[in-house]
Structure 1
Amino acid sequence: MEVPKYRSLKDHVYDYIAQKIQDGTLLPNQKINEAEICKKLDISRTPTREALFQLASDNLLQYIPRRGFIVAPFDSGKKLEFSQAIGVLEALAATLAADHLRSSDLLEMEALIARMDEDIAQLDLTAYSKDQYQFHNLYIQRCGNSTVIEMLDTLKNSFIRQSYVSDNKSKLSGVLQQVNEEHRQILNAFRTNDKPQLESLLKHHWRIIDNDML
């Protein structure tokens, strides 16, 4: 039996902020409110500061003297490298998880796809980002490989969710609908336990939606 990994107070703060970055709650260049985090988590300033400096060391935050910490902007020059690495690791996670997903997991994935349809229709991009994250995280957590999970967490925390700012709302909606159609294909591949199809789909699914696509 695997011994549960001990999580220090610093680890809890780190995970909390990293999750907020990943799901789009904290956006690039947004200032981190240290006092609010301490109050929210009921944790003192010392482990909070330790976590913030660790996040800065991991390139998720930037420390600006006399201003504090901000969410690090994504380096668009590395977007292809990030998307390729995430795609390969997600493909591995999906094929490993295929034999372990329960019927309730598949139903939850189906519900998330429907919610993303609504998010796109309303152009609620914060909700879309969170629902997409939950969709992928569901099977990643079932893959049974802690190293893959940790590597994906690290990469995705740096793969900052874009704010999808665009004047061409109809084209943005079309791009997101295409992405969500890929989610349906991924779900169908899980349902038929088609591992080669899962690998092919996931390797090409991840990309940053920015002005180059719009």
Structure 2
Amino acid sequence: MPKYRSLKDHVYDYIAQKIQDGTLLPNDKINEAEICKQLEISRTPTREALFQLTSDNLLDYLPRRGFTVKVFDAKEKYDYSRIIGTLDALAAVLAVDFLDANDLAALDALVVRMDRDIETMNFKGYHANQYEFHALYIRKSDNPVLIDMIASLKNSFVRQSYSSADKQRLTTVLREVNAEHRNILELLRLKDKPKLECALRHHWRIIDTEML
């Protein structure tokens, strides 16, 4: 049965998606009146959603200034990446015993697509494919609590766009990251849990905070 979505939930998803896809950038002010108009919704569920987004670390709230998209400094990025890396590594280790040949083939196809996205500088496509790469084995971990924790952390921290205007440098960084995806896939095939855990903890480090 589909989960019931309240008006607050719809506003939450609308704003969160705009943050994730880069329409709303760090420190941008949220226009409550415009959101109410766009969604044809009253102020009450909109305010409820904004406070929930603040609680979930996507927005900041200051009296008299209102709501703005949260800005993460280098230390916060580092801290988040370490936590996500630890949980992602745990999910991969748990998933090892549940992944089948079709799953491994799907992961391999995603790595190939990411190679193509990097070479064509299709960074939006790259992000979608790398998200699915990690999501596939996370889903196979068979641990709903862990899955929800990772999703919540990623929603508040991992964006669907890259802030860097240096496309050549970004391409170099993403090639390095996708080489790590290949290594992670090989360790999943080998069921080498200790090396897999180490590889994923390392993978989620912030390679270059100005690129992300």
1:1-214 correspondence to structure 2 within 5 Å: 7-9=4-6, 10-11=8-9, 13-15=11-13, 17-18=15-16, 21-22=19-20, 26-30=24-28, 34-35=35-36, 38=39, 46-63=44-61, 69-161=67-159, 163-167=162-166, 169-210=167-208
TM-score (norm 1): 0.78
Aligned partner of residue 164 in structure 2, secondary structure? coil
Higher mean Cα deviation, 50-59 or 14-23?
Answer: 14-23
Counterpart code for 2:72: F
Question: 1:127, CA displacement in angstroms?
Answer: 2.3
The normalised TM-score by structure 2 is 0.79
Looking at structure 1, the residues matched to 11 and 108 of structure 2 have their Cα atoms a distance apart, in angstroms, of 32
Cα separation, 2, equivalents of 1:103 and 1:20: 36
How many pairs are equivalent? Answer: 207
Q: Which amino acid aligns with 2:132?
A: Q
Letter in 1 for 2:51: F
CA distance 1:158–1:200, shift in 2 (3 Å)? same
Matching residue's letter, 2:57:
N
CA contact 1:93–1:148 (8 Å) conserved in 2: yes
Q: Does the CA-based 8 Å contact 1:24-1:129 persist in structure 2?
A: no
Secondary structure in 2 aligned to 1:62?
strand
For 1:68 and 1:26, the matched residues in 2 are separated by 15
Secondary structure at the aligned position of 1:79 is classed as helix
Unpaired runs of 5+ in structure 1? none
Shift in Å, 1:213 = 7.5
Q: Deviations over 1:94-113 (max 9, x none)?
A: 01111122333222222221
Q: Percent identity?
A: 56
Structure 2: runs of 5 or more not aligned:
none
